[in-house]
Structure 1
Amino acid sequence: MCGIAGYFDTREQRPIDERLLRAMTDAVAHRGPDGADIWRGEGVGLGHRRLAIIDLVSGAQPMATPDGQVTIVFNGEIYNFQEIRRDLEAAGHRFRTSSDTEVILHAWLEGGEACVHRLRGMFAFAIHDARTRTLFLARDRLGVKPLHYAELPGGEVIFGSELKALLPHPKLARELDPTAIEDYFAYGYIPDPKCALAGVKKLQAGHTLTLRQGKPVPAPVRYWDVDFTTRHRGNPDDLAAELTERMREAVKLRMIADVPLGAFLSGGVDSSAVVALMAELSDTPVNTCSIGFDVAGYDETEYAAEIARRYATNHRSRIVDPNDFGLVERLAQAFDEPFADASALPTYRVCALARENVTVALSGDGADEAFAGYRRYRLHANEEKVRGLLPLGFRQSVFGPLGRAFPKMDWAPRMFRAKSTFEALGRSTEEAYFNSIAVLPDRLRQHLFSPSFRRELQGHWAGSLYVDTMKNAPADDALGQAQYADIQHWLPGDILTKMDRASMAVSLEAREPLLDHELVAWAAGLPPEMRIRGGESKWLMKKAMERYVPKKLLYRPKMGFVVPISDWFRGPLAERAEALATRSAAVETGWFDPAFLKKAVDDHRAGRAEHGRLLWQMLMLDQSLGKLIDLPVKAAA
C-alpha cells in the first residue's frame, strides 16, 4: 500500500518543479513510511511513498521499463499478479523484480489501456508513456483505493491519493463547491466524482482517464460495472456451496504478503466469515484483533472472543472509551474534506491496534452492499410491495398528507414510526430510498441553509444523484436498484473512504476479500429471495456460513460500531455545540441560518429534539474548513 502524487502538462513540455513534486508526495507520507522517491520527465512528474508489502527489496517506485520509456506509480495490490506474470512471460516479457507493480507495467506494454481488465485487486495508478506522450490514470472497479485530480489554469493536471497531495500546488483554487456542501449534509460524505473543492474531482470506481499532451482533458471512461439483471439458476444448497468456494478463493488471494498479516474481528457475520476461512487456509494461527466499549449495548467483544476461541486465533482485544472524541482533529486531518460517519473513530482505533502487530489486515467490508445486509434493504423491499399495488398519484394524495400530519417519533420502536413509512409510501421508489439513507432529510436541510446559500445552489438537490442512478441501474427489481446505487456511491464514498483513511493514517494495509470484483458480480446475479428471505438479510451468505459460524452469531441483530455522539453533545461537547451555532468557522461562512442552528443546539441539549447527527456534521465541517480554504476566523476551539 502506498501514496502517489504527480502532475502532467497537457499543453507543453515545461520543466517540473522538483520541490513542489516532493511536497505533494510528502503530503501523503503516512501512506508509505518505508520509502520515497520522485521521477521527472518532459512535462511530467511522478511521486511515490511506499509501504512495502510484496517484494520488499526490489519493488521500489517510481518504476520504469529498462528503456525508460514507460514509468508507473501504483497504490494497491494486484492479487492475481503471479498468474498475469506467467501469461506475460509466455508472451516474451522478461521481469527484473518479483513485484506486482512491474506486472502492471508489462501489462500496459502488452495491451495499453485494456490492461485494467486483467487486474484483480485494489489499485490506483498512473502510467506515463513517453512514446505517445500519454498519462494513464486508473482506479479499481469498486473504489477501494482513492485517486483525486484537478485541471489547473495553464493546462497542468495534478493528481494524488488524497486531497492533501494536491493542496501544496499554488495554482489550485481553494474554493468550496456549494453543491458539495448540500451533498455532504444529505449523505454525510461527498459522493464521487465531486470533491469539497470546486476544481478537484475524484476518479470514480471502475474508471480510467487518459491524458495526452496537446489534447484537452477528456471525460473519464468506465471500464467495469456490476449487473443485477442476470439470474443464477440452482437450488440454495448448490449456490451456497459455490458461494463458499468463491469466498474462500477471494480470502486466499488476499493472504499473499511478505509482511505480518492478520484480520479485524468484530464478531459480526462478515468478519467472522473472513477469519473462519483464513483459519482454514492457514498453517499457523491467524492474528485477530477487536475493540469493545465499556457500555451495555455497544460492545461485541464477547462474540469476537467466541470466534477467536473456535479458530484458536492469536486474538487481542482492547476496550476503548466510548467518549473518544479526542480524535476529532486527527480524523479531520486524515479525511481532508468533511466526513461525518462517526464510526470512523472506532475504525481508527481498531486499525491502530492491528498495526501494533501486523502490516496487513483483512476486513469484512462490502458484504452488506453485495449480499443485501442492511436493514434498510428489507424495509425498502417491503414498502415496494405496497407501492407496486397502488399508483403514484394515489399514494401521493393519501400517504403524503398522512406523513406530514403524523408526529415524528425517532425515539419509538420502528413499528411505531408511521411518519417515515407514510412519507416513503407517498414517494417514488427512488426518492423513497434516497430519503431512507439521507442523514438530514430535505426539510431539515432547507431550514439549515440560509436563503443566500439556497440561491447559490441554483436548484441543486442532492437526491438527484440516487434517483438518477437507480432509474438507470442495470437492475430489474427495487432491491437490485438500491444495492446498485449503494455500490456506486455509498460504498466508495463512505465505507471504503473510512477504511482507507483510517488504516493509512497508521500505515496499515486493509484488504477486503468480500469486495473481490468477481465475487460481487456473482452475488449480483442471486435472485432477490436469496438475498433477503423471511425477513433475514444476507440469507444465502448466512446459510453458506452455518458450518463456520455459530447460528446464534449469524442470526443475531446487526450492531456495527455505535458511537454515542448524541450523548456527547449533551455532555462533554455541549460547549462545543454552542460554539458551532455562534462563533465557529462554519457559521461565519454565511451558509447556515444561525437562528435555526441555535435552536437545534438548545433543543438537543434540553432533550426536546434529536439533532446529534446534524451537530456532528457541523463539527466535522468546521474542522475541515480551515484546512481547505482561507478563513477570516479560526475554527472553534
Structure 2
Amino acid sequence: MCGIVGLFDLNGTRRPDPARLERLNDAQSHRGPDGAGRMIAPGVGLAHRRLAIIDLAGGDQPISNEDGTAWLVFNGEIYNFLELRQELVDLGHRFKTRSDSEVILHAWESWGRECVSRLSGMFAFAIWDEKARGLFLARDRLGMKPLYYTRHADGWLGFASELGGIVAADEMTRPWSIQALESYCALGYVPDPLTIHPDVHKLPPAHHLWVPRGGTRVAEPSCYWRPRFEVEQPPRDLDAAAGELRERLAAAVKSHLIADVPVATFLSGGLDSSAVAALMARYTPDPPEACTVSFADRDHDESHHAALVATRHGLRHHVERADPERFDLLESLARHYGEPFGDPSALPTWLVCGMARQHAKVVLSGDGGDENLAGYSRHRALLAEERLRGTVPETLRRILFGWPGRWYPKLDRAPRWLRARNTLRSLGGNWIDAALQAVEIMPIEIRQGLYTDRARRELQGFETREIWRAYATDAPEHPLSRLQALDLKGFLAGRVLVKVDRASMAHGLEVRAPLLDYQLVEWLAGLPPDWKLHKGIGKYLLKQAMQPVLPEEILWRPKQGFNLPLAAWTRGPLAGRLRDPAFVKTLAATGWFEPGAVTRMIDRHLAGGRDFSAALWALWMLAASARQAGMR
C-alpha cells in the first residue's frame, strides 16, 4: 500500500521540475512512511511513497523493465501475483525482485491494456511506456484504491493517490465545484467521477485511461469490467450455495493473508467482520489480533458481540472507546480526506485504524458484505416499493403518492407506521430516484433551502440525481440486482471504501476486504436474488453459510451498523459546538450557504423538532474542509 504521483507532458518532452514532483510526493508521505522514490525523464516524472508489505528489501518504486523503456508506480496489492509471475517467466520475462509491482509491469509488456483483466487485487497504478509514447492509468474493479488526475493549465497531466498530490502542485487555491458541493450535501460525500475541484477527476472503479503524448485533450476513461447480475448455472439449491460461499470466502480470506508483515483483523461484532475474523483464525499460526471500537451508548455498541466471536475463535481482542471528546479529530479528518467527507463513521474508523496499526501493518475488514448480499434495510424496503410500482401506473402513482409525500410531515419521533413521508415520495417516483432518496442525508428541499441565490444560479439546475441516473446505465433487470449494482458504483466506491482508505493510510495501515474479491463478487452476482434477500432477511445466504462457524447470536440479530450515537452527541456534549458562531461563519464564507437557514436548522435540531444530526455532521466536516482550503 502506497502513494503514487506523477507529471506527464501532454505536448512535448519538457523535464518536470524536481522540486515540484517532490512537493507532490511529500503531500502523500503518510501513505508511505517506509520510503520514497522518483524517476525523471524527458516529458515524465513519477514518484512514490512506500508502505512495505511484500518483498521488503526489493520492492522499491518507481520500477522499470529490463531496458528501462517502461516504468511503473503502483498502490495496492495483487493477490495472484505468484501465479502470474510464473506464467510470465514461462513467456520469457526475467524478474529482478519478488514484488507484485514488477509483475504488473511485465504483464503490461505481454498483454498491454488487457493486463488489468488478469490482476486479482486492489490497485491504482500508472505506467509510462516510452516505446508507445504514452501514459497508462488504471484502477481496480471495485475502487478500493483511489486515483485522481487533472490537466494543469501549463500543459502537464498530473495524477495522484489523493487530492493533496494534485493541488500541492499549484501555487494558488483552486475553486470548489458547485456540482460536487450539491452532491456532497445530498450524500455526505463527493461521488465519482466528481471531486471538490471542477478540473480534477477521479478515475472511476474498473476503468483505465490511455494518455498519448501530443494529444489535444485527455480522452474519456474506458470501463474494463462490470459484474453480470445474470443467473446462469447456480448451485443446485440454497444449501449447496451456502456451502460453496463458505469455501469461496475462506479461499478469499486465505489469499488476502499473503504478506511479509503481521496481519490483523477488524472485528465490529457484526456478521461480515465476524465471518472474516473467524475464517482468518483457520489460516494463521498464531492467534490473530482483532480490533474493535466501543461506545458508551448500548444501542450503538457491539463490542460485547465482538468479544463473543474473539473468545470462540481464540483472537487476541483489543477494544478502544469512542466518545464525544474525540470530536477534536475533525480537523485531522478533513486534512487527510482532502475534500469534504461527511460519513460520521469516519471517526470510529480513524480510531480503529490507529489501534490496529499498533499491532500490524495489514488488517482484514468485512467491507462489501452488505452490497454483495443485500444487507441494508433499504434493500428490503425499496424492493417492496418496486413491487408496488409494478402494479400501479406511474401517472396514478404520482397522484396517489407523489403529492401527499411532498406535504406529509417529517415525523422523526413518531411510531414507525406514521413515518411515511419518504415512502410516499419514493412510491411517487421511479426506482432510481427512490434509491437516491434512501441514501440522502439531506432531502433536496432541505439542502436547496440552505443555498444562497448565488449557489442556485451556479448550479444551473444540476441535481445529484443526474449522477445516480448515470450510475444506473445498463442496470440489471431484477429490482434487487439493480439496487446492488447501484450500491457498488455509488455507496461502496464513493463512501465506504473512501472512508477506509483515507483513515487507514493516514496511519500507515493497509486494509484488505476479502468480501470484495472480484471473483467472489462475480459469483454472488450470478446467484438468484432471493437467496440473498430471503423472506425479508438480508444476507440470508451468508447467515446460512456461517452457521457452522459463528454463534446464533451473531448470525440472526438485527444489523446495527458502524455508526456514532450522533443525535445524542449533538444534542448533548457537542451542542455547544453547534452554537459556536465560527461554524456558521465558515459556511457562509464559502458563498453558498445562507447563514440564517443554517442557524434555523441548528435550532430545530436542538429543540428536538427534527433530527438533523447527519446533515449537521456533514456541514461540520464541510466547514473543516473549508478551513483547510483557506476559507474563513
Give the structure-1-normalised TM-score: 0.96
Shifted more, 29-38 versus 239-248: the winner is 239-248
State the alpha-carbon separation in 1 of the partners of residues 620 and 285 from structure 2.
Answer: 47
Partner residue in 2 for 1:274? 276
Q: Do the aligned partners of 2:185 and 2:618 also contact (CA within 8 Å) in 1?
A: yes
Shift of 1:570: 2.7
Whether the 8 Å contact between 1:144 and 1:492 is mirrored in structure 2 is yes
CA distance in 2, matches of 1:538, 1:171: 50
2:390 maps to a residue whose letter is G
CA contact (8 A) 1:227 1:525 kept: yes
Whichever residue aligns with residue 83 of structure 2, its letter is E
Q: Deviations over 1:523-549 (max 9, x none)?
A: 111212111011100111111111111
Between the aligned partners of 1:29 and 1:349, the Cα distance in structure 2 is: 20
SS in 1 for 2:571: coil
Range with greater deviation from structure 2 (557-566 or 521-530): 557-566
Cα deviation for residue 173 of structure 1 reads: 6.2
Partners of 2:131 and 2:485 in 1: CA distance: 39
Which residue of the partner structure matches residue 561 of structure 2?
560
Q: What is the CA–CA distance in structure 2 between the aligned matches of 1:572 and 1:360, rounded to whole Å?
A: 35
Partner SS state of residue 254, structure 2? helix
Query: C-alpha offsets along residues 377-410 of structure 1, whole Å, 9 cap, x if unaligned?
Result: 0000111111111111111101123323433212
**Structure 2 residue aligned with 1:591:** 592
1:538 counterpart = 2:535: no
The CA deviation at 1:464 is: 2.0
Deviation, 1:444, is 0.7
Preserved contact between residue 268 and residue 292 of structure 2 (Cα < 8 Å): yes
The match for 2:456 is 454
2:223 aligned partner, one-letter code: R
The equivalent residue for 1:370 is 372
**1:225 aligned partner:** 226
Is 1:549 the counterpart of 2:550? The answer is yes
SS of the equivalent of 1:604 reads helix
Q: Secondary structure at the match of 2:457?
A: helix
Indicate if the aligned counterparts of 2:297 and 2:565 stay in contact, CA closer than 8 A. no
Deviation at 1:583, TM superposition (A): 4.9
Moved more, 219-228 or 318-327: 318-327
Alignment check: 8 A CA contact 1:228 1:474 kept: no
Moved more, 568-577 or 270-279: 568-577
Question: Within 5 A, what are the aligned runs for 1:420-569?
Answer: 420-470=422-472, 472-569=473-570
Aligned to 1:324, the other structure's residue is in SS state helix
Q: Distance in 2 between matches of 1:359 and 1:582?
A: 37
Q: Secondary structure of 1:11's match?
A: coil
- 1:171 Cα deviation after fit: 6.5
Corresponding residue for residue 352 of structure 2: 350
Q: Any gaps of 5 or more consecutive residues in structure 1?
A: none
In structure 1, C-alpha distance between the alignment counterparts of 2:482 and 2:167, rounded to whole Å? 37
Secondary structure class of the residue paired with 1:479: helix
Q: Which amino acid aligns with 1:491?
A: L
- Once the two structures are TM-superposed, the CA of residue 614 in structure 1 deviates from its matched residue by 2.0
Unmatched 5+ stretches in structure 2: none
Shift of 1:40: 0.4
In the TM superposition, 1:102-501 aligns within 5 A as: 102-170=102-170, 174-215=174-215, 216-233=217-234, 234-470=236-472, 472-501=473-502
Q: Distance in 2 between matches of 1:526 and 1:323?
A: 45
Contact 2:471-2:490 within 8 A present in 1 as well: no
1:171-212 CA distances to partner (integer Å, 9 max, x unpaired)?
Answer: 776011101100001111000110001110000000111111
Please tell me whether the aligned partners of residues 582 and 594 of structure 1 are also in contact (alpha carbons under 8 angstroms).
Answer: no
Match for residue 87 of structure 2?
A: 87
| SS of match in other structure, 1:166 | helix
* Deviating more after overlay: 556-565 vs 398-407: 398-407
Alpha-carbon offset, residue 231 of structure 1? 4.1
**CA offsets per residue over residues 533-567 of structure 1, 9 Å max, x none?**
11100111111111111122111011122213333
Alpha-carbon distance between aligned partners in 1 of 2:413 and 2:481, rounded to the nearest angstrom: 30
Percentage of pairs with the same residue = 45
Q: Is the 8 A contact 2:72 2:125 kept in 1?
A: yes
- In 2, the alpha carbon distance for the partners of 1:373 and 1:305 equals 22
Q: Pick closer, same or farther for the CA change 1:480–1:413 going to 2, 3 Å.
A: farther
Over residues 579-603 of structure 1, what are the superposed CA-to-partner deviations in whole Å (9 max), with x where a residue is unaligned?
4687522212221222211211122
- For the 8 Å contact 1:71–1:127, the answer to whether it is kept is yes
Aligned residues of 1:323 and 1:568 also touching (Cα < 8 A): no
Distance 1:24 1:387, change over 3 A: same
- Contact 1:172 1:199 survives alignment (8 Å): no
Q: Which residue of 2 aligns with 1:607?
A: 608
What's the CA shift for 1:356? 0.4
- Tell me the SS of whatever aligns to 1:228: coil
Q: Which residue of 2 aligns with 1:8?
A: 8
Give, in angstroms, the shift of residue 46 of structure 1.
0.4
CA RMSD of aligned residues (A): 1.5
The farther-off stretch of 57-66 and 591-600 is 591-600
Shift of 1:413: 4.2
Question: For the structure 1 residues 350 and 263, does the alpha-carbon distance in structure 2 shift closer, same or farther, using more than 3 Å as the test?
Answer: same
Residue deviations 1:95-138, cap 9 Å, x none? 11110011001101111111111100000011111112211111
Instruction: Name the amino acid aligned to 2:219.
Output: P
SS in 2 for 1:488: helix
Measured in 2, the distance between the counterparts of 1:71 and 1:128 equals 5
Q: What amino acid does structure 1 have at the position aligned with 2:129? A: D
Task: Report if the CA contact (8 A) 1:261-1:361 is conserved.
Answer: yes
